[in-house]
Amino acid sequence: MKHILPLLAPDALLLAVTPVFFALFLGIILRVFSSKRRELYKRMGDIPFLDGTASDDSLQNES
């Protein structure tokens, strides 16, 4: 039973690093999805982006 105990109790280093990698992975996924969404809105035309800025096409139409 003594040789199984270290396998069940992960290191402090692993516990410290895992949330950092998870946050980086989640950030990369969210950035990819937001850029895809922005490209989709730009292709659709005159719909403003969700962050409040307008697409390039709508800005050119106003001037």
Looking at residue 53, what is its pLDDT? 57
Convert the pLDDT of each residue in 29-49 to its tens digit: 998 888 887 787 777 765 555
d(CA 63, CA 60): 6
Closest CA to 38 of 60, 53, 26: 53
Looking at residue 6, what is its pLDDT? 60
d(CA 32, CA 38): 10
d(CA 35, CA 61): 23
3-state secondary structure of 1: coil
Please report which confidence band the pLDDT of residue 27 belongs to, taking 50, 70 and 90 as the band edges: very high
